[in-house]
Amino acid sequence: MSNSSHSASSPVLVWFRQDLRLADNPALNAAVHSGAPVVCLYVLDDATPGRWMPGGASRWWLHHSLKSLDQSLQAIGGRLVLRRGDALKVVTGLAQELQARAVYWNRCYEPYARARDTKIKAQIRDAGYEAETFNGSLMREPWEVTTKDGGPYRVYTPYFRALSAQIDDIALLPAPQKLNDGSAGLHSDGLTTWDLLPTAPDWASGFTPVWTPGETGAHKRLGAFAAKCASQYDAKRNLPGIAGTSRLSPHLHFGEVSPRQVWSHVVSNVAPGSGRETFLKEIGWREFSYSLLYHFDDLPESNYQSKFNDFPWDFDENAFKRWTRGQTGYPIVDAGMRQLWQTGWMHNRVRMIVASFLTKHLLMDWRRGEEWFWDTLVDADLASNSASWQWVAGSGADAAPYFRIFNPVTQGEKFDASGDYVRHWVPEIAALPDKHLHAPWAAPSDVRAKAGIVLGRDYPHPVVDHGKARERALAAYASLKDAA
Ligand code: FAD
């Protein structure tokens, strides 16, 4: 369908969202291949996400990623037009203003984004313009990987089997070398006017040395991981003290690299083996989370297993604060929460430990933790975050059973045996010998004195006793089972 007032110079509008890259970008590729001038747009949508507006750490990333995308577009003759407001109004308004030949975008899967985008597509088409959407974020669409009767998978292993069976040769789309820019004269907001970066205080100063947002940074990270770590991934991915995982999660979330690029690069450059296979399964967990969010759209808000609706959650403001600040007195938990605060990221093994600690030791509703992660993670992702929190809490799909309660001491001893991780993030107890590092309160007092540690002064007493907390959590779970 095309609008009669189109001319040969009518541009195609490409609306960038969670696909902040040039290469393997189907919407951009289609626009460039249309032969029309191209206008590249990003909208800071203040209206649609509601309580899931990007958190502080995500906003930091977004700022740098948009800057990087604009530079990449300028290098090929284009630029990124920035607009703020209700995306429905901005996108349909701009399509009209430009008399655009078409509007293209890559799909998002958050429930609010789907509802908004459906409306936008309808309005654009009703106005006589073409609107086309593409898959730029997933290996396969959530509706493409289904059970025999067409329903969604609820268990990961068969899901992954079905997904893998659909992936053979991956043909990646090249980055355009030249862009026929159609944005001359269009107003663009200044990125700095969006105030995405923190100022007073600048709590993100620890992010800069760790991350390079943008497509180039993403590919550097992917290349280094494939060359140095991927073959050992299976053996090392659970050790938070070493760089054994890819750290691609924020790059994937913002679409600076596509999962197809990651999959293809790893398959082409890493020898077959358990490292490679286990890593690809993790990419599969990301896809599974998106499938869950697509098919169960209240996943971020409601228990996937409704029997958890009666769970007797507790809330203690002081204990919650201690958890967020890394002051629980359990070193592996505190190390994780401080890594999160200082770098915007936490190792997956430790995410599981701190989430288990919040929901089981402190008996707090998983949604409290989900919200905290949403604000503090640079990779905050509605699908992966809600699916993972529900997985740990026991209320999710194919979840860890609630009664499996991580012991933070033995988890620390097992996965941070050398103590490198805890010593880095909890330096005040670094002088404790390995044997006592994960349970400072249990160390003989002369050992603590020699390490210069007075509990309650230099490092907190444990916020709860592990044994008692475990009993309390099990009793809460039993009450649920009895009630069911
Ligand atoms: P790698 O181990 O190198 O894995 C490669 C990629 O696979 C990751 O970048 C990620 O995209 C994907 N992936 C790996 N594990 C998972 C998983 N369990 N679920 C979904 N995708 C996975 N991940 C997010 O991207 N955003 C979140 O908001 C998020 N919240 C989480 C909350 C909790 C409580 C837990 C336990 C996990 C959460 N995860 C989340 C999943 C996982 O911890 C991170 O994806 C991973 O730690 C990112 O590090 P990496 O890139 O080095 O991962």
In tens, the pLDDT along 97-122 reads: 999 999 999 999 999 999 999 999 99
Per-residue pLDDT, 178: 97
In which order are the strands placed within the sheet that holds 12-16? Answer: 80-85, 38-45, 12-16, 102-106, 130-134
Topology of domain 12-136, per CATH?
Answer: Rossmann fold (3.40.50)
Is 309 considered catalytic here? no
Per-residue pLDDT, 6: 64
In tens, the pLDDT along 156-194 reads: 999 999 999 999 889 999 999 999 999 999 999 999 999
**Residue 16 to residue 255: CA distance in whole angstroms:** 10
- Nearest ligand 1 atom to the CA of 249 is 9
Q: How many angstroms separate the alpha carbon of residue 63 from the centre of ligand 1?
A: 22
- Nearest ligand 1 atom to the CA of 369 is 34
User: What's the CATH class of domain 138-171+214-295?
Assistant: mainly alpha
Q: How many angstroms separate the alpha carbon of residue 384 from the centre of ligand 1?
A: 7
Q: How many angstroms separate the alpha carbon of residue 24 from the centre of ligand 1?
A: 22
**Residue 259 to residue 430: CA distance in whole angstroms:** 39
Per-residue pLDDT, 484: 46
Q: How many angstroms separate the alpha carbon of residue 447 from the centre of ligand 1?
A: 38
Per-residue pLDDT, 1: 38
Q: Does residue 58 surpass a pLDDT of 50? A: yes
Neighbouring C-beta atoms of residue 320, cutoff 10 Å: 17
Per-residue pLDDT, 401: 87
- CB of 247 closer than 6 angstroms to any ligand 1 atom: yes
- CB of 251 closer than 6 angstroms to any ligand 1 atom: no
- Nearest ligand 1 atom to the CA of 289 is 20
Q: How many angstroms separate the alpha carbon of residue 53 from the centre of ligand 1?
A: 20
- CB of 348 closer than 6 angstroms to any ligand 1 atom: yes
- CB of 379 closer than 6 angstroms to any ligand 1 atom: yes
Distances (CA, A) of 357 to 336, 354, 379: 11, 5, 21
Per-residue pLDDT, 402: 85
In tens, the pLDDT along 328-346 reads: 999 999 999 999 999 999 9
Which band of pLDDT confidence, cut at 50, 70 and 90, is reported for residue 28?
very high
Q: Where are the domains of the chain?
A: 12-136, 138-171+214-295, 306-483
- CB of 212 closer than 6 angstroms to any ligand 1 atom: no
Is 441 considered catalytic here? no
Return the higher-pLDDT residue of 480 and 115.
Answer: 115
DSSP assignments along 410-434, one per residue:
HHHHHHSTT-HHHHHH-GGGTTS-H
Average pLDDT, integer, range 395-421: 94
Q: 186-209 burial, b if ≥16 CB within 10 A, otherwise e? A: beeeebeeeebeeeeeebbeebee
- CB of 357 closer than 6 angstroms to any ligand 1 atom: no
Q: Does residue 3 surpass a pLDDT of 70? A: no
Please pick, among 313, 371, 407, 413, the residue that the annotation labels catalytic.
313
Arithmetic mean of pLDDT over the chain? 96
- Nearest ligand 1 atom to the CA of 246 is 3
**Residue 282 to residue 224: CA distance in whole angstroms:** 18
Cβ atoms 398, 391 nearer than 8 A: yes
- Nearest ligand 1 atom to the CA of 354 is 34
Please pick, among 132, 141, 282, 371, the residue that the annotation labels catalytic.
282
Q: How many angstroms separate the alpha carbon of residue 345 from the centre of ligand 1?
A: 10
Average pLDDT, integer, range 82-92: 97
Q: Does residue 297 surpass a pLDDT of 50? A: yes
Q: How many angstroms separate the alpha carbon of residue 371 from the centre of ligand 1?
A: 16
For the domain bounded by 306-483, which CATH number is listed? 1.10.579.10
Which band of pLDDT confidence, cut at 50, 70 and 90, is reported for residue 86?
very high
Q: Does residue 307 surpass a pLDDT of 50? A: yes
Torsion of CA 356, 161, 166, 261, to 10 degrees: 40
- CB of 368 closer than 6 angstroms to any ligand 1 atom: no
Which band of pLDDT confidence, cut at 50, 70 and 90, is reported for residue 482?
low
Q: Does residue 277 surpass a pLDDT of 50? A: yes
Q: Does residue 483 surpass a pLDDT of 60? A: no
Per-residue pLDDT, 338: 98
The radius of gyration computed from the CA coordinates of the chain, to the nearest angstrom, equals 24
- CB of 381 closer than 6 angstroms to any ligand 1 atom: yes
Nearest to 11 by CA among 19, 28, 23: 28
- CB of 386 closer than 6 angstroms to any ligand 1 atom: no
Is 285 considered catalytic here? yes
Q: Does residue 268 surpass a pLDDT of 90? A: yes
- For residue 130, give the 3-state DSSP assignment: strand
Per-residue pLDDT, 383: 98
Is 282 considered catalytic here? yes
Q: Does residue 92 surpass a pLDDT of 80? A: yes
Return the higher-pLDDT residue of 398 and 90.
Answer: 90
pTM: 0.97
- CB of 303 closer than 6 angstroms to any ligand 1 atom: no
